[in-house]
Structure 1
């Protein structure tokens, strides 16, 4: 049953009392600071007129607020939800299973509740997550030289046509469009914020995107056209990127040294170099980036270049926010942008300074 959100006065009294009954059921957005908190947050309480209350984390993020670093409303939310934890464990134990709504109902779950929980924590439903997990297994079979029939079975599909159709919906092309002799190779990288597709040549990384990014199919088509096709595989830059991403999400390092070859014009490359000069744990506005590259009147062009970036995290477009401090659009989803900013804030000022010094070098100018 949905939690019936009380009026703002009641929620404000709960905030002042740090009432645990409301923890995870409602969140407060503080206009004066631009952050949102659990109602049990130990921080100094804001004035009533500076508060706005929302039912979900997603609503707070979509409203442009950042998560509080003291009460960490994003931190343990997923783990604290027993249904989410149980279903994630079930998915790990049987990744090949073709999950359906009937399966969830048979296990005693309310479909609306499960859908809402997964969308809030991960930006996707459990069934979408399970389908991507199956496709990843099929993708990895193909990338290691496996045959189509083997990939189909690994992905848990009954027929080759069903596997090809699901694959095409995800990547915008069928498995047969990937060429064995292509100079660019596509590999799958799993991360705590969702699976990613990496495309590399023998020497450079050309693309790194979350698989649910809407622009991914078009980006892959452009790369294939510019680079004489894309095949399956994990060249050295992809393996290096996977290792650096593991270290990043484990909190061990914020520096990426994988050689990059982003595809774009001179202005876009200039913006992307500037993005890499923003230290981890810090953010900049579009206007600040425009001034950094010596083009203070090109704020909109900077925003377009930021949105056109197709090497996520390593060219950190998530570090660019609105002039008022609010989160702005992000191709990987605002919930990921918020979490990336949170992750990087934990590295500390010294770590961030080290990242800025080491990663400020220009991305490689190799053609895609």
Structure 2
């Protein structure tokens, strides 16, 4: 954790990084703008203070305010809906100085939210980061690229309302430029319309280009354990804010280095902005990702417009433009298989959370059973009378 966060529980607030830079508002370096100010107007009239959540921990949170980083209780914003719990990146209205204890009274409406489904049998969503402009997906070049995982992350990123950015880390571990070029091409094939940047936090290659993309905005740093997120975060921050561990020798898998989601200010010299570093994700379930899937597999969606049937499932229908593209090599079969898999998962999850859709699926199942019985009876022919 950064030094600014580690001092947040002390009696006196920490000074704001960049607050003396001549910004119009002390929270401008953290993403405060005219839109947030307008949203906050009614709460300002009640004497509440604006702040941005930089860390959440067991019902308490660290919030950066105009007076520094303070500790506040989230008791008054604990909803029944897990999608509305306080999350790193949220903008909040909290009690003014002098209140003891201080409470977060409400959250401002989120502009974006990166959400995944949990492993819970209740099929709940979990918000990993809020109010994000860029979803930076870190994928290591040290091993084989798992293109299916990239497509999954990209789909969720598009669904979040943020701009996905694919960063291929540990480029220094790849022996030659030709291999890097091949891996880059593979990654681009799995992320059409998404910028892909190979970087090395060790050598600094690609960091300037990455910092230029992230300048001034809020970026969520996402990826599996061992992707080099903490090392990349330190390189972007310009200091060792995040602890770094080596991957396991026996299987090459990463260890959980970051255990909480922390919002950290990026250097003003590099353009500013903030970075939300998240723990490594071993599982990333889809959550209401239909729109994101459409953008992640935009070439398939474009081809589907030319199918003979509007409800073409791209299985064996005549006049299917998608299958024709697979046949002539325009569309890799692996892409279509991945698209089908993620669509099935998204529909399955939606069916578990949407009673209406579950009823429709049951009705469809009954209709198919009835049709199957009818076809069998036609095949057998009329029964002979005894």
Same fold by TM-score greater than 0.5: no
Greater Rg by CA? 2
TM-score (norm 2): 0.28
* Greater helix content: 1
Which structure features the higher share of strand residues? 2
